[in-house]
Structure 1
Amino acid sequence: MIVSERFRDAIASVERFYERMIKIIVVVEQRRCHFFSAYAQQTACSQPIKDEFWSLPDEKTAEVPSENMIVVAGDLSGHVRATKDGYSFHGGFGYGSRNADGEHILENAESHDLTIVNTKFRKRDSHLISFYSGKAKTRIDYVLVRRRDQGLVTDAKTMPRQLPRNIVH
């Protein structure tokens, strides 16, 4: 996780939870902002390992006082689908189809009143796709914030991937 130098003196604490999640609390204008960076187990991992991972963000976000801001961001290794399908915390501008790992993301968002803010903005595919493997491409990186704070987010996108160029001499 990278923090802008202008916020360095505003860091109240840093906690690491195993090798898959870190939390930085930043105090800005009398408000505590809890930034979680998470790296979920890959899709091929066993279900007990995935469940163990998801219990951590569930537990740690539940501990954050309701008046504080939460930002959960990272490679959550799931697909939440291109469309809302009735989920009010999904903005309707996702990518691809939903899978079981995407269900974990949706369940976590719903149980903690979080909005998946990078599904709230219409983007071209190059600003949606965060993972390429051969011909496969998908979005696995997400940003979630408390629903009441979603208005503070004015944009969210994936930076277009720079493909290596073949150099011929």
Structure 2
Amino acid sequence: MTGKGRELADMMERRKVDILCVQETRWKGSKARSIGAGFKLFYYGVDSKRNGVGVVLKEEFVRNVLEVKRVSDRVMSLKLEIEGVMLNVVSGYAPQVGCELEEKERFWSELDEVMESIPTGERVVIGVDFNGHVGERNTDDEEVVLPDDWETTAEVIRVTGRKVLGVSSGRRKEDKNTWWWNEEVQDGIQRKRLAKKKWDMDRTEENRQEYKELQRRVKREVSKAKQKAYDELYTRLDC
């Protein structure tokens, strides 16, 4: 974003874009600032050399902002009320495919946290750079193709979102199976719980090792399930 603010604002004005999610801003801090041409950037970053996310709004919509949730330098969201409609704009920046598993899991967890906090009935727009987490082989020449017409694009996103992501029940997170769960994850979690009970009853080193190993397996299964769910989402959008 360094030196690019006004260029970005000019592009939004020229293309008549009112709301824009941006990633890899590389601006340190948790602020909102004008970038010119009647646009304001809400951003969050912890390092001026990497990551950073933000949402740019046309000035007339700034007064409609009800909440800014800055989760990390990879995930943030804005809640706006526009003509009586609650709109949640989520901006995210996924770790690159080659990053550590722990960093990837943290991103998916943060994105889940934001999605599950949005009440049923409120609209959601997801503007996330999934950074290569698309397609079977994640090769460099892949593209996600969307229709040119915005109304068609919006309908594709809404229909696909309902099919793949489902609708939040509004229950607390610990009481709800997340949308990306599959049979492998559920089975793994059940086996982990049984191993935990076994270790609680008989704290031998063997039982502890068994429980720790199942913990590691569940983490891997969770990561794979989330990856598969988002791949399916983008495959359905590729129409």
Residue 89 (structure 1) aligned with residue 211 (structure 2) = no
1:6 Cα shift? 2.1
CA contact (8 A) 2:64 2:80 kept: yes
Report the Cα offset of residue 51 of structure 1. 1.0
1:9 matched to 2:131? The reply is no
Unaligned runs of 5+ in 2: 1-54, 137-142, 145-158, 162-222
* Residue 14 to residue 109, structure 1, CA distance change in 2 (3 Å): farther
Structure 2 match to 1:107: 229
Give the Å deviation of 1:119: 2.7
Q: Alpha-carbon deviations, 1:122-161, whole Å to 9, x = none?
A: xxxxxxxxxxxxxxxxxxxxxxxxxxxxxxxxxxxxxxxx
Matched, 1:65 2:108: no
Q: For residues 118 and 27 of structure 1, do their structure 2 counterparts lie closer, same or farther at Cα, with a shift above 3 Å needed?
A: farther
Secondary structure at the counterpart of residue 160 of structure 2? coil
Aligned to 1:80: 135
Q: How does 1:10-49 map to 2 (within 5 A)?
A: 10-49=64-103
CA distance in 2, matches of 1:16, 1:48: 20
- Structure 1 stretches of 4+ with a deviation exceeding 6 A read none
Give per-residue Cα distances to partners, 1:11-66, cap 9 Å, x unaligned: 11112111111111110121111111001111111112101110111121011111
Could you tell me whether the CA contact under 8 Å between 2:135 and 2:231 is conserved in 1?
A: no
Corresponding residue SS for 2:79: strand
Gapped runs of 5+ residues in structure 1?
91-100, 122-169
Conservation of the 8 A alpha-carbon contact between 2:69 and 2:76: yes
Distance 1:117 1:107, change over 3 A: closer
- Which of structures 1 and 2 has the larger relative contact order (alpha carbons within 8 angstroms, sep 6+)? 1
CA distance in 2, matches of 1:117, 1:12: 33
Query: Structure 2 length normalisation: TM-score?
Result: 0.37
**Alpha-carbon spacing, 1:118–1:21, altered in 2? closer, same or farther (3 Å):** farther
**Structure 1 CA distance, aligned partners of 2:82 and 2:235?**
21
Q: Give the AA of the match of 1:12.
A: L
Output the aligned Cα RMSD.
Answer: 3.3
CA contact under 8 A between 1:80 and 1:106: conserved in structure 2?
Answer: no
Offset at residue 118 of structure 1 (A): 9.3
CA distance in 2, matches of 1:73, 1:62: 16
* Secondary structure at 1:35 match in 2: strand
Q: Structure 1 residues 80 and 6 mapped into 2: Cα distance closer, same or farther (>3 Å)?
A: farther
Report the CA distance shift for 1:26/1:109 in structure 2 as closer, same or farther (over 3 A). farther
Aligned equivalents of 1:44, 1:35: Cα separation in 2: 27
Larger Rg computed on CA atoms: 2
The one-letter code sitting in structure 2 at the alignment partner of 1:68 is E
SS in 1 for 2:63: helix
After superposition, where does 1:127-146 map in structure 2 within 5 Å? Answer: none
Does the 8 A contact of 1:34 with 1:71 survive in 2?
Answer: yes
